[in-house]
A and B are shown apart, each in its own frame.
Chain A
């Protein structure tokens, strides 16, 4: 199939970017979206140009590195997948495809389609963990956890930290990401001890990083490749209120 790509090109963080038109010819419909870009890049390189830069690694939908906004939707309009899991059979011959980075103030563009998502790491460092020193754990079966709770914790823990939720949100809010981590750890008995400081720490860091507020649009849930429910945001809000009250009366 032959396609016309409109790709965001930006030489560096301080440079001005623009959309560039690139023809992608002879693409197999069995190729993945990123393989299509590989083919295009190989031609660009052979013709002496600068290839399109984008983040990617595992190419099986789990590392969270790939981060393209395709025709205006992070990870494309296909539900429940990452960019690397998108296949060209979902497009038609002759289509024009718009490819942009994940845009958010807290995700500055580094080059072309690559963005800096280190703000997510700093949010985790601000409380997204259970503080347990290696070697100090009790037997794994000493605390039974109801299957329902374990499954629910897993559903939130499925987050891959890609940032699509932020890119889809008109406010560039990271509430789904933060809510997922809080729901994962706060659901488990092991996570109770640090529940309050976890929520306070992560939410404050999120604000400091320049993410916006949640106004309940649910765009985040719609684009999440792991289909994490926006319910985690409600839980986060409740946990946050409880923690601030406790902090105030302490």
Chain B
């Protein structure tokens, strides 16, 4: 691998500490600059977002003595979408004595990410994973326990050990409540000033450093700015660019995308995760998709009928799952990936479902659905055990679909769930825009091209509780506290830009609802930049995005005024950014002429002609990486709407693992 290209761009210094991989983080911590307690009080830190990453960062930085301001668009920090994570959180505790270790968690995550993440960051994540569990238990998070009183674990996709800690099907909720309580404790002590129902509109850059933000008060409509010594974005992912996703309705890309307008690079936007186990779409009124935890794949078996005739009969209601004999069922994951079976990683499980449905063997009314069947597990373990493990999930499924999964198999289909791409950050979680730090799903750093289950909660909390408290002083120690105040002209300029944009949105006074544009954009991106992509499709998408943008700015209708609560205006500002962002995403997918993880380019897949297929190592149709050409992080510089962004590459160096064809056979 040559370094010439990264040298030629020269702007992306990943700041990875020298030394052997397992010692990097320890050595970093021994040598990192410190700020003494008396001085910490003088630094102001802005945290945007109050989910696992933002909430844990805000609480911890306040404990350390910094003056923290935390912002969220929801009415309470407890409602951030981390709360919806069901399955669990990974940690290399090896409490099960099944051979787990920091190295294995590191390796599984690197491999799961299809060798497109940074070794040093991922190793650090695996190292601090164990501290997270300790911290959460101390906070009172009620993880599942065994009868002896010790913590229980379950296994999850992409791993052959049981390292996932869980709290029934509500792990994200319990972790977030722990984090929220720590945040409220710091609010009460005066270390954190909390701004709810407040949405960030812009980053303020002074002399090349992020020194504040402009926000809109969603209740009064007031635009105001806040100055600080640094800014931390923990604003989540961009899955709602697809309109239908498992994200909360309010999740959006505005904070991260506005940062790109101020110079931050957006890395790997085409890496989006399509989760295999969601409830299929039922109609065009649908506002979001509901995930069924991946943990269901521990006991549920995924199948479609072997014959198209049986599938058609099920779709038309002439047959039920029970009418299909055992020999006529295709448990396709178990067939294709015997050693991982139904626990194959998410990208692979999703694509396999799509293949089965594209083949005409889907079982939902729309043709887009496969069975997730608990019949065998119920026969083996009894209904009570299944109820104890998945009771709330079964209940949720029944409420949404009207079907009882204890007696008929669930129907599932993949849906957009998580986005691995995000703002580019170095080892210290600082963006190329100095002073701007990015945590959790909002950054790109740890999951490569595909995230393994139970790793999002781990990363959010690792970043907030353990990484940023140690890495923030690398930046802050060089900064004089309070150097920049709101009196700097950049604040007034940024406020004006925000007001102008809102005025522009309000003055369109067209005839079409914001949702209609969002739906149109989402369908387009799902179709052309979803589970599989082609050059032609992406080029067409870029053309269509331009048309949607033009239509939006001419015909969107936002009723009411900007001086108060106006949910249509909130949505419009977010959709405007999704439109521009979708463009960057498609450019990225177009540039990456390979298939890896969540990014599947139809032109690049294994075929019968490949040696790996002939030798039986992998199957035709599996993603084909091109390591020589594409083993880089694609960091995009925003050049404005309708203009191609500029690519900056960070070459990924693998010194500790060998790049292998990912096989889960």
A residues contacting B by CB (< 8 A) are: 12, 27-28, 30-32, 34-36, 38-39, 42, 45-46, 48-51, 53, 55-65, 80-81, 85, 87, 89, 110-111, 114, 116-118, 120-121, 124-126, 128-141, 144-147, 150-151, 153-154, 157-158, 160-161, 184-185, 188, 190-191
Contacts and interface: CB of A to CB of B under 8 A. Distances in A.
Contacts of B248: 57-59, 63
A60 B146 contact: no
A57 B511 contact: no
A3 B511 CA distance: 25
Contacts of A157: 140, 142, 167, 174, 177
B185 A63 contact: no
Interface in B227-259: 246, 248-250
A127 to B, nearest CB: 9
Q: How large is the interface on B (under 10, 10 to 19, 20 to 34, 35 or more residues)?
A: 35 or more
Interface string B545-565: 000000000000101100011
Interface centre among B84, B137, B146 (most CB of A within 10 A): B137
Contacts, number: 222
B25 to A, nearest CB: 14
6 contacts: A48-B559, A63-B80, A133-B63, A140-B134, A153-B140, A161-B79
Given A53-B567, A59-B287, A130-B139, A64 B182 contact: no
Contacts of A185: 140
A126 B188 contact: yes
Contacts of B506: none
B400 interface: yes
Contacts of A138: 134, 138
B181 A124 contact: yes
B79 A65 contact: yes
Contact of B180 (A35, A124, A144): A124
Interface in B180-200: 180-182, 184-185, 187-188, 194, 196
Given A137-B138, A141-B150, A62 B84 contact: yes
Interface of B: 56, 59-60, 63, 74-81, 83-84, 93, 95, 131, 133-140, 142-151, 167-168, 170, 172-174, 177, 180-182, 184-185, 187-188, 194, 196, 219, 246, 248-250, 282-283, 285-288, 290-291, 395-396, 399-400, 402, 465-466, 469, 511-516, 557, 559-560, 564-565, 567-568
Contacts of B77: 121
Contact of B144 (A137, A150, A188): A150
A85 B524 CA distance: 28
B652 to A, nearest CB: 31
A37 to B, nearest CB: 10
A65 B395 CA distance: 20
A49 B469 CA distance: 48
Nearest to A138: B134
A28 B134 contact: no
B79 A57 contact: yes
Given A58-B83, A64-B79, A114 B565 contact: yes
Contact of A51 (B139, B140, B249, B559): B559
A125 B151 contact: no
Contact of B93 (A81, A110, A140): A140
Contacts of B290: 59-60
Interface centre among A56, A141, A146 (most CB of B within 10 A): A141
B55 to A, nearest CB: 12
B469 A134 contact: yes
Contacts of A161: 76, 78-79
B134 A124 contact: no
A32 to B, nearest CB: 7
A38 B146 CA distance: 44
Nearest to B147: A147
B565 A190 contact: no
A35 B287 contact: yes
A133 B65 CA distance: 12
B181 A130 contact: yes
A89 B5 CA distance: 59
B167 A154 contact: yes
Interface centre among A27, A87, A118, A129 (most CB of B within 10 A): A129
B287 A38 contact: yes
Given A31-B283, A60-B290, A134-B466, A85 B139 contact: no
A155 B194 CA distance: 29
A27 to B, nearest CB: 8
A46 B512 contact: yes
Contacts of A111: 564-565
Given A35-B286, A62-B170, A190-B140, A125 B219 contact: no
A45 B185 contact: no
A61 B636 CA distance: 37
B146 A147 contact: yes
Interface centre among B59, B134, B140, B564 (most CB of A within 10 A): B140
Contacts of A121: 76-78, 184, 187, 194, 196
B249 A188 contact: no
Contacts of A34: 287
B84 A42 contact: no
Contacts of A126: 188
B74 A65 contact: yes
B245 to A, nearest CB: 11
Contacts of B469: 134
Contacts of A124: 78, 180-181, 184
Nearest to A30: B282
A150 B143 contact: yes
B227 to A, nearest CB: 25
B181 A87 contact: no
B552 to A, nearest CB: 14
Nearest to A31: B285
A118 B181 contact: no
Q: Which 4 A-B pairs have the closest CB atoms?
A: A144-B149, A129-B181, A137-B138, A137-B134
Contacts of A120: 76
B559 A141 contact: no
Contacts of B146: 147
Given A117-B76, A135-B131, A157-B177, A59 B249 contact: yes
A135 to B, nearest CB: 7
Contacts of B285: 27-28, 31, 35-36, 38-39
A100 B187 CA distance: 32
B559 A50 contact: yes
A125 B399 contact: no
A135 B64 CA distance: 11
Given A55-B75, A154-B167, A129 B184 contact: yes
Given A85-B396, A145-B145, A154-B142, A63 B184 contact: no
Contacts of A36: 285
B235 to A, nearest CB: 14
Given A116-B75, A153-B140, A191-B140, A42 B134 contact: no
Given A63-B248, A129-B181, A158-B170, A45 B137 contact: no
A165 to B, nearest CB: 16
B140 A150 contact: no
Contact of A56 (B63, B84, B246, B249): B249
A228 B561 CA distance: 41
A191 B146 CA distance: 20
Contact of B84 (A35, A58, A128): A58
Given A132-B138, A138-B138, A87 B84 contact: no
A62 B173 contact: yes
B134 A139 contact: yes
A134 B514 CA distance: 42
Contacts of B559: 45, 48-51
Contacts of A190: 137-140
B76 to A, nearest CB: 5
